[in-house]
Copies of this chain bind each other. A is one copy, B any other.
Amino acid sequence: MKLTVGVDIGGTKIAAGVVDDAGRVLARLQRPTPARTAEVAEAVAVLIEGLCEDYPVAAVGLGVGGFIDAERETVLFAKNIGWRSEPIRRTMESRLGLPVVIENDANAAAWAESRFGAGSGEAFLVVLTVGTGVGCGIIIGGSIYRGSFGTAAECGHLPLVPGGLRCSCGGDGCWEMYCSGTALENEARKLAQQGAADSLLRRAGGRIEAITGGVVTAAAAEGDTVAVGLMRETAWWLGRGMAAIAAVLDPGCFVIAGGLSVAESLLIDAARESFLSHLPARGMRGEARIVAAGLGLDAGLIGAADLARARASR
Contact = CB atoms under 8 A, between A and B. Distances in A.
A186 B285 CA distance: 22
B76 A150 contact: no
Interface in A233-257: 240, 243-245, 247-253
Q: Copy number of this protein in the oligomer?
A: 4
A157 B281 contact: yes
A144 interface: no
Interface stretch (A45-53, A193-201, A211-219, A293-301): A193-201
Contact of A162 (B240, B253, B282, B283): B240
B249 A152 contact: yes
A87 interface: no
Interface stretch (A5-13, A31-39, A169-177): A169-177
A146 interface: yes
Contacts of A156: 247
Interface in A261-304: 273, 276-288
Interface residues of A, number: 71
Contact of A161 (B147, B162, B166): B162
A116 interface: no
A170 B190 contact: yes
Contacts of A247: 154-159
A37 to B, nearest CB: 16
Contact of A240 (B147, B159, B249): B159
Nearest to A240: B159
Contact of A286 (B149, B178, B276): B149
At the interface, is chain A mostly helix, strand, loop or mixed? Answer: loop
A56 interface: no
Nearest to A154: B247
Interface string A96-117: 0000000000000000000000
Contact of A250 (B148, B245, B277, B287): B148
Contact of A278 (B123, B159, B195, B276): B159
B281 A67 contact: yes
B250 A147 contact: yes
B161 A280 contact: no
Contacts of A40: none
A67 B282 CA distance: 12
B165 A166 contact: yes
A169 B77 contact: no
A169 B76 contact: no
A289 to B, nearest CB: 10
A279 B190 CA distance: 12
A164 interface: yes
A59 interface: no
Given A194-B276, A276-B194, A285 B160 contact: no
A151 interface: yes
Interface of A: 67, 70, 76-77, 84, 123-124, 138, 140, 145-167, 169-174, 178, 186, 190-191, 193-196, 240, 243-245, 247-253, 273, 276-288
